[in-house]
A and B are shown apart, each in its own frame.
Chain A
Amino acid sequence: MFMLEKAIGGGRRYWIWIFSLLAVIGWGFSFYLRQFSYGLGITGLSRNITWGVYIGQFTFLVGVAASAVMVVLPYYLHNHKEFSRMAILGEFLAISSVTMCMLFIFVDMGQPTRVLNVMLYPTLHSMMFWDMVSLGGYLALNAVIALVTLNAERKGVAPPGWIKPIIVLSIPWAISIHTVTAFLYSGLPGRPFWLTAILAPRFLASAFASGPALLILLCMLLRKLTGYDVGSKAIKGLAVIVTYAMIANVFFLLMEMFTSFYSQIPSLVEHFQNMYTGMDGGSSPLLSWGRSSLVLMAVALFLLLIPRVRGNSRTLAVACAITFLSLWIDKGVCLVVCGFMPSPLGIMTSYVPTLAELSIAAAVWAIGALMITGFYKIALAVREDAFVIPTADTITPSPVAK
């Protein structure tokens, strides 16, 4: 059913990987059961810092999900043939990321059994309602696209024509999921750190750097493990996208810093001091995170800007890993927590995630990794089958029947 059978079956290494993921999931799930019965008090969250690891991962992963558009758009809209072997990988990455996002929201709920109230009492003025709509829609769109295109490929025919408008729709939809996620934050009057119009553009820029960086790493890994090669041209193309997005992201960040540090409005500058320069006379719990993110961003950008580094797959892998890590710290760790430091009453509370919280988060990541593994296995199996009858046009699947 749905080609799932293709995910079952693999070498010893494959099964070790699958079972280690399952072990992480089981470990995290046991902590979730405790959180379910005891409450969110088992996390490091507090009255002043009400969102932490879970919502941070959610925000970061929405970006990874949205970034699939950086492969889909050139391939389907501009007929950028180099991306043909990568498009399906991007779509599956998006599906897995959106699922992780939803799980992160779910584990963050105080009353998870009531979560369907969001649909039972649709509230148009709440950004969270729209986030649910856009994430759900994006998941459905990508699931349909991936399923239909892969199915067509398996049968060795061109995908049906009706899928084209759906693919086109998925492009603005990808932008919308991250924009709405930014709106979750940037519309709150009492949180000056997030109250900035550049939050949505910055979210998109950092997403289009971190997502494709991850995809490049995944493609390299696939080539090493399975011999499936997306082609060096595709990787190079994607590396250019990562570079431009990273430039935009760093530029936006510098603009934010200028506005806050030059205006010296206390409510604005406090948060940035907390992350980058340290507060005078106060504790700055995020200082080491913020600074390491800045340094890593600078290193990543420096590496990406050198064409020779980008051209060599080993150095490119390093640059991509640093890019991913720096943006993960920036968005997955600092962005959410820093908005709560200091609190509206000026109190600086520190936040240390607990083992339970980190285990649950690791389990959600493991679920995502498991999904990616399974999906990529299916995609590769379908392509390998197609190789059995090597006709010229099945090797490079054509985008969509016109």
Chain B
Amino acid sequence: MKISRKDFLRLSGLSLLAVVGKKAIGALAGKGAQSAAALPAVRVTTRWAMVIDPAKCLKEEGCTKCISACHKAHNVPTINDPRHEVKWIWKEPFENAFASQESAYTEAALQGKPVMVFCNHCDNPPCVRVCPTQATWKREDGIVMMDWHRCIGCRYCMAACPYGSRSFNWFDPRPYISELNPDYPTRTKGVVEKCTFCEERLAKGQAPLCVEACPEKALVFGNLADPKSEVRRLLDARFSIRRKPELGTHPEVFYLV
């Protein structure tokens, strides 16, 4: 049988397509099977959440202990240019963090005052919905996790996050880290990063670093699924607000009023 060069190229193109198609179908089918196996609903026993008391936080003016503890441990670079900065936890003026709550008569105690903000670890996270590679996903304990090995840097999650909680590495961050912590990786250029609720510490049974670093105990971390936990006790006892609850993302970071 004689094959012309054109036919050969056509055939090889078609076979390549067939291989790709089979792979894709296999991957999709595999996923289907997996989710079917997970069908018997597991009762959620852990749902990590944070309760913040802004009044306590404001007691010590200019305190940045939680920020520096977090950023140092997680090798978060210090980039002064706000266009390129990377931050996991930071202070945001009240009226920016709670844009819809703001009024000209907002309590003087809060007007212009900084509020600690970080990833809300939403129960219904838009960033997870849009990520094309599952480089960010929601764990069973509610943590919105990131896989920096898989992130392709499309920044769709940054467009999707209604809280501006995500940062992108516009270049290699290492030159901007004054003291490398070898126990935690840095990030490479071209990936998105954010707070992970210190999942590496939770794995060892420790509380997140910001919680530990706060001298006023203004940040309380705990399990919402446990009715006896401190976070539940606080939320039962006091009125709390969340950022942009109207978007249906169900943030798991609560601010006590």
* A1-15 with Cβ < 8 A to chain B: 1-2
Of B56-64, B67-75, B124-132, B233-241, the one with at least 4 CB within 8 A of chain A: B124-132
Whether A190 pairs with B126 at a CB distance below 8 angstroms is yes
A162 at the interface (CB under 8 A from B): no
B257 at the interface (CB under 8 A from A): no
Whether A47 pairs with B83 at a CB distance below 8 angstroms is yes
Whether B132 pairs with A118 at a CB distance below 8 angstroms is yes
Distance in angstroms between the alpha carbons of A39 and B77 in the assembled complex: 15
Of A84-92, A103-111, A286-294, A366-374, the one with at least 4 CB within 8 A of chain B: A103-111
Interface residues of A toward B: which range? Answer: 35 or more
Interfacial chain B residues near A339, Cβ < 8 Å: 159
Distance in angstroms between the alpha carbons of A117 and B163 in the assembled complex: 26
Interfacial chain B residues near A267, Cβ < 8 Å: 99
Whether B155 pairs with A110 at a CB distance below 8 angstroms is yes
B195 at the interface (CB under 8 A from A): no
8 Å CB contact of A118 from B84, B133, B189: B133
* A313-360 with Cβ < 8 A to chain B: 339-340, 343-347, 349
Distance in angstroms between the alpha carbons of A268 and B163 in the assembled complex: 17
B215 at the interface (CB under 8 A from A): no
Whether B163 pairs with A123 at a CB distance below 8 angstroms is no
Whether A51 pairs with B155 at a CB distance below 8 angstroms is yes
Contact with A along B132-173 (1 / 0, CB 8 A): 111100000000000000111111101111111001111110
Whether B153 pairs with A110 at a CB distance below 8 angstroms is yes
Of A127-135, A174-182, A304-312, the one with at least 4 CB within 8 A of chain B: A127-135
> Given the interface contacts A41-B170, A120-B27, does A345 sit within 8 Å of B132 by beta carbon?
no
Contact with A along B189-203 (1 / 0, CB 8 A): 111100000000000
Min CB gap B193→A, angstroms: 11
Q: Residue of B at shortest CB range from A339? A: B159
The A interface, classified by DSSP as helix, strand, loop or mixed, is loop
Interfacial chain A residues near B247, Cβ < 8 Å: 189-190
Distance in angstroms between the alpha carbons of A79 and B15 in the assembled complex: 35
Contact with A along B101-129 (1 / 0, CB 8 A): 00000000000000000000000001001
Whether A110 pairs with B6 at a CB distance below 8 angstroms is no
Interfacial chain B residues near A190, Cβ < 8 Å: 126, 160-163, 244, 247
Distance in angstroms between the alpha carbons of A6 and B85 in the assembled complex: 52
Min CB gap A114→B, angstroms: 5
Contact with B along A187-228 (1 / 0, CB 8 A): 111110000000000000000000000000000000000000
A38 at the interface (CB under 8 A from B): yes
Distance in angstroms between the alpha carbons of A271 and B249 in the assembled complex: 22
Q: How many residues of B contact A (CB 8 A)?
A: 55
Whether B159 pairs with A110 at a CB distance below 8 angstroms is no
Interfacial chain A residues near B171, Cβ < 8 Å: 38-41
Interfacial chain A residues near B99, Cβ < 8 Å: 267, 345-346
> Given the interface contacts A46-B83, A189-B249, does A110 sit within 8 Å of B126 by beta carbon?
no
Min CB gap B209→A, angstroms: 23
Contact with A along B1-38 (1 / 0, CB 8 A): 00001100100000000001001100110010000000
A115 at the interface (CB under 8 A from B): yes
Q: Residue of A at shortest CB range from B167? A: A47
Whether B154 pairs with A128 at a CB distance below 8 angstroms is yes
> Given the interface contacts A39-B172, A47-B85, does A188 sit within 8 Å of B152 by beta carbon?
no
Q: Residue of B at shortest CB range from A350? A: B83
B185 at the interface (CB under 8 A from A): no
Q: Residue of A at shortest CB range from B173? A: A39
A30 at the interface (CB under 8 A from B): no
Min CB gap A34→B, angstroms: 11
> Given the interface contacts A118-B152, A119-B20, A343-B164, does A110 sit within 8 Å of B190 by beta carbon?
yes
Whether A122 pairs with B82 at a CB distance below 8 angstroms is no
8 Å CB contact of B97 from A50, A114, A132, A345: A345
Interfacial chain B residues near A185, Cβ < 8 Å: 159
Distance in angstroms between the alpha carbons of A32 and B135 in the assembled complex: 25
Question: Which residues on A are within 8 Å of B, measured CB to CB?
Answer: 1-2, 38-41, 45-48, 50-51, 105, 108-112, 114-115, 117-129, 132, 184-185, 187-191, 267, 339-340, 343-347, 349
Other A-B pairs beyond A46-B82, A47-B85, 18, CB < 8 Å: A38-B171, A39-B172, A39-B189, A40-B168, A48-B83, A109-B153, A110-B169, A111-B190, A117-B133, A120-B133, A121-B27, A128-B154, A128-B156, A129-B132, A132-B132, A188-B160, A343-B164, A345-B164
13 A-B pairs with CB atoms under 8 Å apart are: A2-B6, A39-B172, A46-B82, A46-B170, A109-B190, A111-B190, A120-B133, A122-B27, A126-B156, A188-B159, A189-B162, A190-B126, A339-B159
Question: Which residues on B are within 8 Å of A, measured CB to CB?
Answer: 5-6, 9, 20, 23-24, 27-28, 31, 82-85, 92, 95-97, 99, 126, 129-135, 150-156, 158-164, 167-172, 188-192, 244, 247-249
